[in-house]
Every structure is written in C-alpha cells, then in structure tokens.
Amino acid sequence: MLRRLLAVALCAAALLPAEPVPARAEEAVLNVYNWSDYIDPAAVERFQKETGVQVRYDVFDSLETLEGKLSAGHSGYDVIVPTSEPTFSRLVRAGALKPLDRAKLPNWSNQDATLLRQVESSDPGNRHGAIYLYGTVGLGIRADKVRELLPNAPLDSLDLLLKPEYAKRLAACGIAVMDSATDVLPSVLHWLGRDADSTDGADLQAAEKALLAIRPHVRAIIASGNILDALATGEYCVAMTYSGDVIQAKARADEAKQGIQLRYVQPKEGAQLWFDMLAIPADAPHPEAAHRFINFLLQPEVMAGITNAVHYPNAIPAATPLVEEAVREDPNVYPTPEMLARTFTVRALSPQAERARSRLWNRFKAGR
C-alpha cells in the first residue's frame, strides 16, 4: 500500500509542468480518470510541456469503480477510459458522453480502421470514443511453481483456476482473482461452455457453483492494481487478471532478479477480448483540453511509448514499428491472428441482469 502511495506521489510530482506555456483560461487544467498502471508518465509530462495544460490524474482499477464514480454524476473528469463493453456502450446509450469533435482530432485517422469497425457495435459511427489500448483477460502464473505442484496439468487453460482439484493443489502457493464481476464472470461462463453474456438463471447458477467450488482455495479477491503489485513480488502462483498487467508484473519481477518466473496465459478455451476507449463525459468542465489530450495520445510515437511502458497493444498501426521489438513480438501483447480467433467479446446487459451478477459476485466473495 505504502509503495503504491509513494508511486502515486512520485508520479504526481513528475506530472507537474516544468515551464508552463500560457494557455487560455478554460484550457489550463485537464482532469483525467484512467486505469492504474496504464500510461507512460513521460507522455503526460510531454503533453503538459507542449500545451501548458496542467493534468490532474486519478486512477481506478475496476469497471465497477469507474461506473460508481460516474453514476453519481458531476464527476468533474474531462477524459475517462471506459471499456467498450459494457461500460462505454452503456454511457453512449445514456447520453453521458460528449460526441467527439473530429475537427479537433486531426490524428483520428491514425487509428486502425478494422479495429474501429469492431468497436462500432458499441458506438455507432464511432462518435464518442477513440481506441486507447486493448487486451485480454487471462491468468498470470508462476509456471515453475505450478509445474512442481501439478506436473500434468495444462498450463494454458483456465482449468488451473476453475477445476477444484487443481485449485486445491495450488491454494498453498496462492490464488487470486480480480474483484470484478464484469470482467471475470464472462470467462467463467465461457469456460463452462455457456454464453458469456448469458442472463439465464441456470447459466448463472452454474457459474456460481463453479466459483463457490474453488472459493476455499482462493486467497484473495482484490482490485486488479493490487494483483499487479502482488504478482510482481511472487505472492500468487495463479491470478486471474488483465493481460498487460501480468506482463508488467513480469517485467518488474525480471528486473528484481529474485527468481520469480511469471507468465501470462491466454486461456486456450477462449479469452475475453476488450477495448478501452478515450471518451469525454457530457458534463466535462474542459472539453477543449480533453480533445487536445486525446489528439496528443493518438500520435504514433506517443502511443508507442505508452505500449512500451504498459505492455498493452494500441490501435495505431504506425506506432507498431516504433514499439520495442521484445514488446511488439510478444504474442501476449500483440496477439497473433490465431490467438485473436480464440477470443470472445461481451455486450452490456440490462441493469436487472447486472444486479443479479453482482449479487452472485458478492456471494462468491463471502464464500456462501
């Protein structure tokens, strides 16, 4: 926790502009609400230097937290980073986002047209969001430890977490699951061979049964940001979380040279693929600065720096050659076409269905 606070403080200090260039009064500040461990601090610094806009940067680490903050209204944020489904599409439909002014986004066309078409199902005409980064949901594992405890188990499957006989063997070594019904339940349903978007009572019951069966063996159900930190120090042998978070943890562990061997597993039975969007709340106090920031991020060299820092792929093809070779060629960062073919995407559900899922999730957390 202390390390986290320190990191946030250092980050905040680094974000203060050295020599602010004068800006128009209404543009002097920008309030950004992004996922934790999800930007290159140098990018924010450069934006501040180039524009004179002072960035106030807050972080969240689950969609539930983001939605909670936004549903209260008047969040005060200018740029937010909701996942295309379910959060961004819900915000679009609720009229909670400002349509982007493309005239203020000359770098818009740097985005991959195919990926833009893919997220259009969440936002007809791509009117409210640019693609920031994308990734999958899977497992971070300490392959050597898992091998030791389960010599014959497949290392590339959600079985490691969801088969009670495996989870039981791995329990002593530590199992964690990110605390997000929204981002965990679809994978559980998919693993069960059911529709990841199912709202059917029998399907949800099956998912609950599967989760309760492993519950005694799960040490922690915690925010994704905490999982990243703990994976890096070897606290868990198996953790369900976002792809790039595992790869960031691996980079930290490799650097620390304590013999912690981390690996990201994109589950062979199919992984949830998601896209995070850059969007402007309808009541954003600084929409002008928000457009400048989004346009700034859509530059190939800026995006390449972000991908290098956080190990998630971006949607700017011209950025790819600028990304470090080791990152660019890691199929867990930039999935191969075969890996992409083994992914699935989710859709937003009715508020009633979301409530049923969150009740299920609370029972899983409580273990009953």
Nearer to ligand N2P, 38 or 191 (CB): 38
DSSP letter for 85, please: I
- Return the closest-CA partner of residue 116 out of 86, 78, 87, 84: 84
- Return the closest-CA partner of residue 311 out of 327, 335, 323: 327
Give the nearest distance from C-beta 245 to ligand N2P in angstroms: 5
Beta-carbon contacts of 135 under 8 Å, excluding residues fewer than 6 positions away, are 242, 243, 244, 273, 274, 312, 313
x/- site string to ligand N2P, residues 232 to 271, per CB under 6 A? ----------x--x--------------------------
* Segment holding 166, helix H or strand E: helix 164-170
Dihedral sign for Cα atoms in the order 174, 179, 182, 185: positive
Give the nearest distance from C-beta 147 to ligand N2P in angstroms: 27
Give the nearest distance from C-beta 139 to ligand N2P in angstroms: 15
Strand pairing report for 343-344 and 220-222: unpaired
Which residues between 147 and 206 bind ligand N2P (CB under 6 A)? none
Q: Please, how many CA atoms are within 13 Å of residue 72, restricted to the half-sphere of its CB?
A: 9
Structure tokens at 319: 């950025």
Nearer to ligand N2P, 75 or 182 (CB): 182
Nearer to ligand N2P, 47 or 242 (CB): 242
- Return the closest-CA partner of residue 241 out of 229, 233, 251: 229
Nearer to ligand N2P, 31 or 226 (CB): 226
Q: Does 38 bind ligand N2P (CB under 6 A)?
A: yes
Binding-site size for ligand N2P (CB under 6 A) equals 11
Which residues between 18 and 37 bind ligand N2P (CB under 6 A)? 35-37
Give the nearest distance from C-beta 348 to ligand N2P in angstroms: 15
x/- site string to ligand N2P, residues 72 to 111, per CB under 6 A? -----------x----------------------------
Nearer to ligand N2P, 30 or 137 (CB): 137
Q: Does 229 bind ligand N2P (CB under 6 A)?
A: no
DSSP letter for 174, please: -
* Segment holding 241, helix H or strand E: strand 238-242
Which residues between 284 and 343 bind ligand N2P (CB under 6 A)? none
The contact set with ligand N2P (CB under 6 A) reads 35-38, 83, 135, 224, 242, 245, 274, 276
